[in-house]
């Protein structure tokens, strides 16, 4: 017996892809800009590595904290909405069934079929049906704070590790240039990969990330050169 055909769409990867690429981009840009700025201030080589390490740890924790707080707020909102919907189901299930049928009518079903679908789905899982079709909450979209925080911290750390490694291995006089080149190349690859997987044009994705990253490192270098000491 043949199994049902399961389609895969690019849109299904956009959520995790965007979060992973954003975290890695932040890690590369912020850490690279930080080290380049300090290098332009003529700091010692050991100070550059320490700056990069501190930037990695601080940035990863900042990303994790921000993501945890944000997604926790979303989770609290979802729980409150589900509790309210459950109370409405307990108070007047018939009215909630008519409301669900109305949603299906607006999506294109005739009233008779919409009523049958609403009745069948509510008999199977009333709260789940209303959560999915009325509130837009499903297992795929449900907020997971710890998972989001860990993913953000890991992706940021992975990105920040690149300029940190370059700073540790490159001679001091080549640190700024080495970080700038490797960071821009890596960011261009990430931008192109994200665009390709998402089905968008690769060129604009590369240009956007390259331009803003170069601007960030350029400004950081200018600040270091202006306020640094020989």
Dump the DSSP string for 85-101.
HHHHHHH-HHHHHHHHH
**Residue 160 in this model has a pLDDT that exceeds 90:** yes
For the chain, how many residues are written?
230
Q: How far apart are CA 78 and CA 136, in angstroms?
A: 10
62-106: pLDDT as tens digits: 988 988 888 888 888 888 888 888 888 888 878 888 888 888 888
| pLDDT tops 80 at residue 149 | yes
Structure tokens given for 174: 């080549």
Q: How far apart are CA 21 and CA 154, in angstroms?
A: 11
As a whole number, the mean pLDDT across the chain is 83
pTM above 0.85, yes or no: no
Per-residue pLDDT tens for 172-183?
889 999 999 999
Cα angle 77, 81, 87 (rounded to 5 degrees) comes to 145
pLDDT computed for residue 101 by the predictor:
86
DSSP symbols for 110-171? -HHHHHHHHHHHHHHHHHHHHHHHTS---TTT---HHHHHHHHHHHHHHHHHHHHHHHHHS-
Span 151-158, average pLDDT: 90
When pLDDT is averaged across residues 32-37 and rounded to a whole number, the result is 93
Half-sphere exposure of 153 (CA within 13 A, CB side): 15
pLDDT band at 230 (very low <50, low <70, confident <90, very high): low
What's the average model confidence in pLDDT over 159-184?
92
pLDDT tens digit string along 111-145? 888 888 888 888 888 888 888 877 777 665 566 78
* Angle, CA of 141, 142 and 145, to the nearest 5°: 120
Q: What are phi and psi of 137, to 5 degrees?
A: -110, 125
Q: What percent of the chain has pLDDT over 90?
A: 27
pLDDT, residue 202, reads 78
Range with lowest mean pLDDT among 4-18, 84-98, 143-157:
4-18
Specify the range with the lowest mean pLDDT, choosing from 58-67, 120-129, 155-164, 194-203: 194-203
Residue-wise burial string across 158-168, b where 16 or more C-beta atoms lie within 10 A, e elsewhere:
bbbbbbbebbe
Distance in angstroms (rounded) separating the CA atoms of residues 142 and 8: 20
Helix (H) or strand (E) holding 174: none
Q: What is the pLDDT of residue 165?
A: 94
Secondary element (H or E) of residue 43: none
pLDDT band at 12 (very low <50, low <70, confident <90, very high): very low
């Amino acid at each position: 017996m043949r199994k049902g055909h399961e389609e895969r769409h690019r849109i299904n990867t956009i959520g995790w892809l965007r979060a992973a690429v954003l975290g890695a981009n932040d890690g590369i840009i912020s850490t690279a800009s930080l080290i380049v700025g300090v290098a332009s201030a003529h700091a010692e080589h050991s100070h550059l590595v320490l700056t990069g390490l501190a930037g990695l740890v601080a940035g990863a924790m900042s990303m994790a904290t921000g993501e945890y707080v944000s997604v926790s707020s979303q989770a609290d909102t979802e729980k409150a909405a589900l509790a309210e919907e459950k109370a409405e189901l307990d108070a007047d299930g018939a009215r909630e069934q008519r409301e669900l049928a109305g949603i299906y009518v607006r999506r294109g079903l005739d009233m008779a079929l919409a009523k049958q679908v609403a009745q069948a789905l509510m008999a199977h899982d009333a709260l789940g049906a209303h959560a999915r079709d009325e509130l837009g909450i499903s297992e795929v979209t449900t907020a997971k704070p710890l998972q989001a925080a860990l993913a953000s911290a890991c992706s940021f750390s992975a990105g920040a590790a690149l300029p940190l490694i370059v700073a540790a291995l490159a001679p001091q006089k080549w640190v700024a240039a080495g970080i700038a080149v490797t960071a821009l190349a890596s960011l261009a690859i990430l931008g192109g990969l994200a665009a390709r997987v998402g089905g968008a044009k690769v060129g604009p994705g590369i240009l956007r990330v390259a331009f803003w990253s170069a601007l960030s490192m350029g400004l950081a270098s200018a600040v270091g050169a202006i306020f640094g000491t020989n």
